[in-house]
Structure 1
């Protein structure tokens, strides 16, 4: 959900209102020229000094703003609906898109290059941009949105040869959901490990009790990990539900695995026949498996689905194997 919550006073105090769509005139909802702090969830919002999105502008990306520019001066609000991924704007040296040009796809301080204070027109190919009069996002600013053209900075903006910093607005945090496609699970390897072994000998003519309990409890660890595929580009933290009690938190650039500890009860034989040797081995089966993960990323009402990979090395399967063999009893002479 994209929304903005506006407050009458600084630090989110006083009266408040919440909006999920454009408000051309805040006086019509009894909240004009009184906003001093705000919170943005999702896509950025634009604020304007005058009704109908005119006058001095300010832009607010997702976050909390205890104090704001245009304090007690905001008269209209507008939600940025553009797709803000892979932004692109072309600046031109002269009006009407003539002269030298510069294509920009990321935040750029023009004072570090050869195009500082040279732009006089622009075309926005993708995204929503803020063009600043001074470096470091300061001074007067111009808002440039996808699909728009400004053929002449002079006639309206008096902005000829004054652009020094260019900033693309960033989208809000996406909603990410995941689903492990268990029906496509693949077992990559299996191996067995002996984790316990014991032997009992009964040299008598009667059945003997080997121990007092017919079960033993063993601890075993299972590792769970998530692998990013080349196409999966997510910078946000998200969770992967493996089972009702196990959730893996995934964040790119950090360890993407967890270990869970289980206790497994194993039934073992406790009786040894007469003149017999009982050999018991406790075997743990290690299984390495993988399954694709469907990752759905919803931003600004649009959902795209990518595929990641869940991997596990499990040792939960533990069982006892035993063999009984007769022993030779030497008779006394």
Structure 2
């Protein structure tokens, strides 16, 4: 079962609580503006700065987060449990769904389709989407669920800023995709975790082989996947 485990101190220390359902007000649970580290098991979760799933947002994939950039700022939590099949989002150049439009069905860097820093409104036709301020899933995030219609990014301080759109099911498989170009540091660390020996020729690989970001801790089902990758490197 999917769940999130939160802690009041970094490194998974301090008071702790486990949630398997959405929490619209962490104050009622004694954890308002108190989360400093967390663990996600199963589906991704969205942490909101304000109660009732409002305010700035941060998406956490399955994994362990010993430190948080925005620790002590979350007031509500929501699990991404919606149907993630057939993701589709329609972006509009102007507010109120006006101007040039484009339809996305997979992770897209808007710079690649000449729509970077242009989008001002959107409609979600399917799936759950994570919108990022910068490329490579960096910067502020905005999560949008099936059926959401956002007539203007202005109140969200996102107008003409967003550059990357990612369907949530891509987040769930991100670890597997990143294995295609693993970084030396992250993969060696994972291999140590799995008690596998790193062959001496690993150090001869070019430094340019790097992942876009650090790999999250894998679930048990991915250990076999990593071992197979290790055998084919």
TM-score normalised per structure 2: 0.70
Partner of 1:67, secondary structure, is coil
Alignment of 1:26-37 (within 5 A): 26-37=26-37
Following the alignment from structure 1 to structure 2, what is the Cα–Cα distance between the partners of residues 172 and 109?
18
Aligned position for 2:161: 162
Q: 1:196-235, CA deviations, whole angstroms, 9 ceiling, x for partnerless residues?
A: xxxxxxxxxxxxxxxxxxxxxxxxxxxxxxxxxxxxxxxx
TM-score normalised per structure 1: 0.50
Following the alignment from structure 1 to structure 2, what is the Cα–Cα distance between the partners of residues 150 and 27?
28
Following the alignment from structure 2 to structure 1, what is the Cα–Cα distance between the partners of residues 17 and 68?
16
Tell whether the 8 Å contact from 1:58 to 1:69 is kept in structure 2 after alignment: no
Alignment of 1:153-192 (within 5 A): 153-154=153-154, 156-170=155-169, 172=172
Aligned position for 2:38: 38
CA RMSD of aligned residues (A): 2.6
Structure 1 residue 237: Cα displacement: 8.5
Tell whether the 8 Å contact from 1:90 to 1:123 is kept in structure 2 after alignment: yes
Aligned length: 182
Following the alignment from structure 1 to structure 2, what is the Cα–Cα distance between the partners of residues 88 and 33?
34
Tell whether the 8 Å contact from 1:49 to 1:70 is kept in structure 2 after alignment: no
* Structure with the largest fraction of helix: 2
Following the alignment from structure 1 to structure 2, what is the Cα–Cα distance between the partners of residues 129 and 71?
23
Tell whether the 8 Å contact from 2:59 to 2:141 is kept in structure 1 after alignment: no
Aligned position for 1:47: 47
Following the alignment from structure 1 to structure 2, what is the Cα–Cα distance between the partners of residues 123 and 49?
23
Structure 1 residue 172: Cα displacement: 5.0
**Structure 2 unaligned residues grouped into runs of 5+:** 174-218
Aligned position for 1:65: 65
Larger radius of gyration: 1
Partner of 1:72, secondary structure, is coil
Following the alignment from structure 2 to structure 1, what is the Cα–Cα distance between the partners of residues 129 and 141?
10
Following the alignment from structure 1 to structure 2, what is the Cα–Cα distance between the partners of residues 237 and 17?
23
Indicate whether 1:109 and 2:88 are aligned: no
Q: 1:236-264, CA deviations, whole angstroms, 9 ceiling, x for partnerless residues?
A: 986xxxxxxxxxx986xx69xxxxxxxxx
Tell whether the 8 Å contact from 1:41 to 1:172 is kept in structure 2 after alignment: no
Structure 1 residue 54: Cα displacement: 1.9
Alignment of 1:81-230 (within 5 A): 81-154=81-154, 156-170=155-169, 172=172
